[in-house]
Chain A
Amino acid sequence: MEGIYLTIVLCPLAASIVAGLFGRQIGRAGAHSITIAAVAVSFLLSAYVLKAIAVDGAATYNAAVYRWAAVGALTMEVGFLVDHLTALMMTVVTFVSLCVHVYTIGYMHDDDGYQRFFSYISLFTFAMLMLVMSNNFLQLFFGWEAVGVVSYLLIGFWYKRDTAIFANMKAFLVNRVGDFGFLLGIAALLMYTGSLDYVQVFGHAERLSGESIEIVSGMQWSALTVACICLFVGAMGKSAQMPLHVWLPDSMEGPTPISALIHAATMVTAGIFMVARMSPLFEHSVTALSVVIVIGATTAFLTGLLGLVQNDIKRVVAYSTLSQLGYMTVALGASAYAAGIFHLATHAFFKALLFLAAGSVIIALHHEQDMRNMGGLRKYMPITYWTSLIGSLALIGFPGFSGFFSKDILIEAVHASTTPGAHFAYWCVLIGVFVTALYSFRMFFLVFHGEERIDPHVKSHLHESPWVVTVPLIALAIPSIVIGWLTVGPVLFGGFFDEAIFVLEEHDVVGELGAEFHGSLAFVTHAFVASPALYLAAAGVLVAWFLYMYRPGLPGQISEKIDVIHRLLVNKYYFDWFNENVLARGTRCLGGGLSRFGDQMVIDGGIVNGSARVVALLSIVVRNLQSGYLYHYAFAMIIGLAALIGWLVVEL
């Protein structure tokens, strides 16, 4: 199996190097052929691995393949841990990546950086696979940073645009905050367990929950809680949880395929994956779980609201992504890791689908992204229309669609959870369902229905996108419909994650739900009588229809009425304002002040130049001792001799 794992990881890397360094030689067709072939190989092998583990029951693989360094008792290795969780992630990542690769052929057709783009997304696939397949914290961190770098490169892919450069800088800086926490968490674990290996560290979890750490004097904190919260800060950066979410909407400056791949389906879910992987640690710290659930719930609700006021089609989807990431985080906090991962997987399909559909619209309209200049596209782009509808229904949790299962179970799990803050989280995610339906269908109606507000010049040659764009849409639409129905039973309630995810007996909400689960069909019918979520979603769609189809003038009047709230939403709760004016400006003022006072005055002026001036002055004074007179010289010698003898006398 080791050979297979290495092939899965290294194929995209090799393709990326070839496409990146020899892009000019192999040409456009060569670049996309080789990267697509490599990712296809990775996908097929991942699917094979998933089958071997999930169906045939192959044992968990956990071994090092290369020892990088050994320092004292600490060994740093490259190794793979492949179990149910990893296999699922690998398959999702490579599948979405494959779809995006194909789609890119159409989307980036006229772009000068064609080969560069393929090199980057292949490199991303490599990095993401390293992240999910790692069996130790060091490699996890490597993958974590590597996906961050590729994300940075891709957000700024159109590096001549100022907004793109601003966005990628912002993403990078915000992620630094998260990564710093992540690194501290890893360091804390290393300090207390002396190991970077998952299995060894997890073995110490119970002992760690008893140890305490004193960071601020007089305050004793559980070492495990501190480590877990630090790790979660990393997840907040990567998975864009409040208040580190600000970079994700701006990341839409990058080309749409990477918005789908990196900023919706895979990289941003790395935080969710990481917390699920660390479940043996988080389970032992109720405080950490509580932090997770509160942050997740706040993000899920507040960012959903922001989706209501956006006019840029990609930004609506971006806020939707933020909100859904919040849902997943809430599931983690409720100890329903399996539900979180399940939502992650279904979300990867339908959110990638929505992004690619948005991209399809954007190409058709010649890079127009403002929904106020769209409308009535249904008849021009039937495939995009129907796949978007599927994606939207999956997102709002229409019964039977994949999002329905994952979200419904998630909400039920939060309802059943005893984690402090779960009650607050329950209401957030429940109202969030209404908000989700409202912004999703607002977008859907504005783009595909209603009056045509398209530029007449563009309209004259408006047509459906080419097959390289529509095939991935269809390929993603199918799992968006069926994957939940097919897999909810075995994956969530069939003990699929038993080995990979650890849940304490008293936190096992998914297990409780499993007792009431009697097949997918029963689950759907049960939802009609038991869950308010379904009716909330329906209400959301109806309101959207009423506001944007039946009475299109109404939204404007409403926003004038509640001007304060509207302004709050348009300004995104003033997070950006705060970051730019308080944090960024404050830091720069502090830096400038320290530079002027501390560096230039004290260090350069006082210590460095000051001591140099003293030495120079001294040298001019002392050189005068060298008078040139012989008797002075002889006198100095006699003085010296006298001093030596005097010293002897004193010592005796």
Chain B
Amino acid sequence: MIDLQLAAAEVFMVCAICVVLLVDVWLPDERRLLTFRLALLSLVGAAVCSAYYLPNGSVTAFSESFVTDPASAVMKIFAYLIVGLVFIYSRDFLMRAGLFKGEFFILALFALLGIMVMLSAHSMLTMYLGLELLALSQYALVAFDRDSPIAAESAMKYFVLGAIASGTLLYGISFIYGVTGTIQLGAIAAHFSQPGAITVPALLGLAFIIVGVAFKFGAVPFHMWLPDVYQGSSTPVTLFIGSVPKIAAFALAWRILSESLGDMHGSWQTMLAVLCVLSLVIGNIVAIAQSNIKRMLAYSTISHVGFIFMGFIAGTEDGLQAAMFYTLVYTLMAAAAFGMVILLSRSGFDAENLDDFKGLNARSPWFAFVMLMVMFSMAGVPPFVGFYAKLVVLGSVLDAGLIWLAITGVLLAVIGAFYYLRVVWFMYFVDPVDDSPLDAALDFRVVISANGLGLLALGLFPGVLLDLCARVIG
């Protein structure tokens, strides 16, 4: 296959974004739905490209700075799916809020393109390019509701902190380049596999790179941006930021830490373990004190990041598969959770507080049940898929002999169960604060129901996704 075929999905996405951009410019406001439809269509097209131009095994392109392999293809397709969910959940909310602009879709697609590039990166520079494309799009997305001062504040915070993290990452990359003389990931891995290659400058570079990775994930203590950004953005943007970019973060850790710096596992294992425990503790404990659902979900994200890290900490193939499984499952859960927050919002009213979930069962038993599935899955209650996600990562650290870490994880998952179950308690056992019926478009209802039921179905048949992860990665 020629290089362009290997990058077919990315090439297609760039073209599609240009088309959407041009079409959107000429559209009058009342026909803006066309932008929405074209955006969805471009996702479908990209999915076709990814699936069609799929090589057997891992094939590099563009002078070994780009790689296409089954694992990246699977994760790209998953990313298209989640972005599709984001678009469908967001449409009516944006319309009601007067934010139904082409920019939302275009920025989101650019961010997606960044994620795709990161997933396929095979050199430090490609990785950095993808990362910056994603990050810049996200800064703009956060500030998208430009009349909202809190959104502007969040965007500013996110931008400044993101710039620090990017700089740190780039600094680390320069160290690695200085030590190895290459930015190509395969060559870096080859260099460090030699005995005695792990020198002090290399370790210094590693520490800076880990800061970049941790910031992208939102691991403690590089998590500060996360609650403020989640809360400050309008809910569709939070929905986007809260779900898909976790796949990018996974790509960053996977490509750089596992693949190219895998031989330094002994050095970064402990660093990640410390970040992991801190994330579990801070995420789960502070979530309890939150009354804002978006902030609560932000801290919940931080705690889930701790679990994703466990897979990397194990440092085994099983661990990597477990981390991938957890990441994919997490994006599905996060999409459903923020989708429910959007569902509860109406024109001129953002459902932001936990109180808005009170008595949901009386207002809509079915959607209360969907939320229940999402919360149970996040808490890790069988038979929902969140349980298996936790099970496989805990299993991988146990296999690696880190019993103390597994015990910490379980204990904090128990504490974490409290705030998920509190939502369930609010929905079922507390009287509603306001009892107006929920209104949402049919496609929204169908998709979010499928999203919730998917968590149950994957929990009943976890083998489907687990086998897929095991086949494509490692």
Residues of chain A having any CB pair with chain B under 8 Å: 612, 615-616, 618-620, 622-623, 626, 628, 630, 632-634, 636-637, 639-641, 644-645, 647-648, 651-652
Chain A residues lying within 8 Å of B287, measured Cβ to Cβ, are 619
Task: Please tell me if B421 contacts chain A, counting CB pairs below 8 Å.
Answer: no
Chain A interface secondary structure, helix, strand, loop or mixed?
helix
Name which residue of chain A comes closest to B215, CB basis: A637
Cα–Cα, bound, A620→B156 (Å): 26
A648 CA to B157 CA, complexed, in Å: 29
A-B interface, 5 closest residue pairs, ranked by CB to CB distance from nearest? A633-B224, A619-B289, A640-B221, A619-B288, A644-B207
Contact A637 B289 (CB under 8 A): no
B204 adjacent to A619 (CB under 8 Å)? no
B285 contacts A648, CB within 8 Å?
no
Interface centre among B211, B227, B289, B418 (most CB of A within 10 A): B289
Q: Complex: how many Å from CA A623 to CA B283?
A: 10
The 8 A CB mask of B272-300 against A (1 = contact, 0 = none) is 00100000001001111110000000000
Interface size for chain B: under 10, 10 to 19, 20 to 34, or 35 or more residues? Answer: 35 or more
User: Is the Cβ of B207 less than 8 Å from the Cβ of A632?
Assistant: no
**B82: min CB distance to chain A, Å:** 27
A616, A632, A634, A644: which contacts B288 (Cβ < 8 A)? A616
Contact with A along B137-169 (1 / 0, CB 8 A): 000000000000000000011001100110010
* A618 and B285 contact, CB distance less than 8 A: yes
- In the bound complex, how far is the Cα of B222 from the Cα of A633, in angstroms? 8
The answer on a CB contact under 8 Å between B222 and A637 is yes
Distance, CA A339 to CA B290, complexed state (A) = 79
Whether B441 sits at the interface, judged by CB under 8 Å, is: no
B38 within 8 A of A: no
CB-CB nearest in chain B for A638: B164
B164 is contacted by which of A612, A622, A634, A647 (Cβ under 8 Å)? A634
Q: Is B228 an interface residue (CB 8 A)?
A: yes
Tell whether, in the assembled complex, residue A626 and residue B286 are in contact, meaning their CB atoms are under 8 Å apart: yes
A596 to chain B, nearest CB (A): 26
The minimal Cβ–Cβ distance linking B288 to chain A, given in whole angstroms, is 4
Q: B168, B200, B214: which contacts A652 (Cβ < 8 A)? A: B200
- Closest residue of chain B to A630 (Cβ to Cβ) is B157
Q: A630-B160, A633-B161 are in contact. Are A640 and B222 (CB under 8 A)?
A: yes
- Show 8 residue pairs from A and B whose CB-CB distance is below 8 angstroms, ordered by the A residue: A619-B286, A626-B224, A633-B224, A636-B222, A639-B221, A640-B211, A640-B221, A641-B211
**Pairwise interchain contact B225-A633, C-beta atoms closer than 8 A:** yes
Least CB distance, B268 to chain A, in whole angstroms = 9
List A contacts of B290 (CB < 8 A): 623
Chain B residues positioned under 8 Å from A639 (CB to CB): 221
Bound together, the chains give a CA A619 to CA B288 distance in angstroms of: 6
- Is B270 an interface residue when CB atoms closer than 8 A count as contact? yes
A644 contact set on B, CB distance < 8 A: 207, 210-211, 271
B428 CB within 8 Å of chain A? no
Q: Select one of A612, A620, A626, A641 contacting B207, CB under 8 A.
A: A641
B203 at the binding interface (Cβ < 8 Å): yes
Q: Are B161 and A645 in contact (CB under 8 A)?
A: no
- Give the distance in Å from the alpha carbon of A640 to the alpha carbon of B161 in the complex: 13
Chain A residue with the shortest CB-CB distance to B207? A644
Contact for A647 among B161, B271, B282, B418, CB less than 8 A: B271
A512 to chain B minimum Cβ distance, whole angstroms, is 68
| B208 pairs with A641, CB closer than 8 A | yes
Q: Which residue from B160, B204, B285 sits with its C-beta under 8 Å from A622? A: B285
Q: Contact at A648–B203, with CB atoms within 8 Å?
A: yes
* Besides A622-B282, A633-B161, A637-B161, 4 other A-B contacts (C-beta < 8 A): A616-B288, A626-B228, A637-B165, A640-B214
Q: How far is the CB of B312 from chain A (nearest CB, A)?
A: 15
In contact, A637 and B271 (Cβ under 8 angstroms):
no
Known contacts A633-B157, A636-B224, A637-B215; decide if A616 and B164 are in contact (CB<8 Å).
no
Taken together as a complex, chains A and B put the C-alpha atoms of A76 and B270 apart, in Å, by 50
Q: Which residues of A contact B164 (CB under 8 A)?
A: 634, 637
Determine the chain B residues whose CB is within 8 A of the CB of A622 once the complex forms. Answer: 282, 285-286, 289
Q: What is the CB-to-nearest-CB distance from B122 to chain A, in angstroms, rounded to a whole number?
A: 26
Are B211 and A648 in contact, CB atoms less than 8 angstroms apart? Answer: no
* Contact partners of A637 in chain B: CB under 8 A: 161, 164-165, 211, 215, 221-222, 224
Q: Whole-angstrom distance from the CB of A420 to the nearest CB of chain B? A: 56
Verify A632–B208 contact, CB threshold 8 A: no
Residues of A within 8 A of B204 (CB): 645, 648
Instruction: Find the B residue at minimum CB distance from A641.
Output: B211
The interface residues of chain A lying within 8 Å CB-to-CB of B364 are: none
Q: Does B408 touch A at the CB level, under 8 Å?
A: no
Instruction: Report if B267 contacts A (CB, 8 A).
Output: yes
Do A616 and B289 touch (CB < 8 A)?
Answer: yes
Q: Is the CB of B286 within 8 A of A623?
A: yes
B274: chain A residues at CB < 8 Å are 647
- Distance between A640 CB and nearest chain B CB, rounded to angstroms: 4
**Chain A residue at minimum C-beta to C-beta distance from B278:** A640
User: With A616-B288, A620-B289, A640-B211 given, is the CB distance from A628 to B221 under 8 Å?
Assistant: no
CB-CB under 8 A from B156, the residues of chain A are 630
Complex alpha-carbon distance, A349 and B211, angstroms: 90
Contacts of B161 in A (CB 8 A): 630, 633-634, 637
B415 touches A (CB below 8 Å): yes
With both beta carbons as reference points, the residue of chain A lying nearest to B411 in the complex is identified as: A611
Contact of A645 among B207, B221, B227, B270 (CB under 8 A): B207
Task: Specify which chain A residues have a CB less than 8 angstroms from the CB of B160 in the assembled complex.
Answer: 630, 634
Pairwise interchain contact B288-A615, C-beta atoms closer than 8 A: yes
Q: Is the CB of B285 within 8 A of A632?
A: no
List chain B residues, Cβ under 8 A from A645.
204, 207
Q: In the bound complex, how far is the Cα of B286 from the Cα of A628, in angstroms? A: 15
Residues of A within 8 Å of B282, CB to CB, are 622
Name the residue among B207, B224, B282 with the largest chain A CB count within 10 angstroms: B224
A626:B285 contact, CB within 8 angstroms:
no
Q: How far is the CB of A575 from chain B (nearest CB, A)?
A: 49
- A640 contacts across to B, CB distance below 8 A: 211, 214, 221-222
Most buried by B among A612, A647, A652: A647
B residues less than 8 Å from A628 (CB atoms): 228
Q: Which residues of A contact B227 (CB under 8 A)?
A: 626
A641 with B267: CB separation less than 8 A: no
* Contact (Cβ within 8 A) B224 A632: yes
Contacts of A626 in B (CB 8 A): 224, 227-228, 286
Q: How far is the CA of A619 from the CA of B289 in the complex (A)?
A: 6
Minimal Cβ-Cβ distance residue in B for A652: B200
Are B165 and A623 within 8 A (Cβ)?
Answer: no
Q: In the assembled complex, how far is the CB of residue A614 from the closest CB belonging to chain B, in whole angstroms?
A: 10
Chain A residues within 8 Å of B228, by CB: 626, 628
**Contact: B207 with A648, CB < 8 Å?**
yes
A641 / chain B contacts, CB cutoff of 8 Å: 168, 207-208, 211
User: How many angstroms between the C-alpha atoms of A641 and B213 in the bound complex?
Assistant: 12
Q: How far is the CB of B282 from chain A (nearest CB, A)?
A: 6
A552 to B286, CA, bound (A): 88
Note all chain A residues with C-beta closer than 8 A to B165. 637
Check B271 against A636 for contact (C-beta < 8 Å).
Answer: no
Q: How far is the CA of A541 from the CA of B209 in the complex (A)?
A: 106
Whether the Cβ atoms of A619 and B285 lie closer than 8 Å is yes
**A648's closest neighbor in chain B, by CB?**
B203
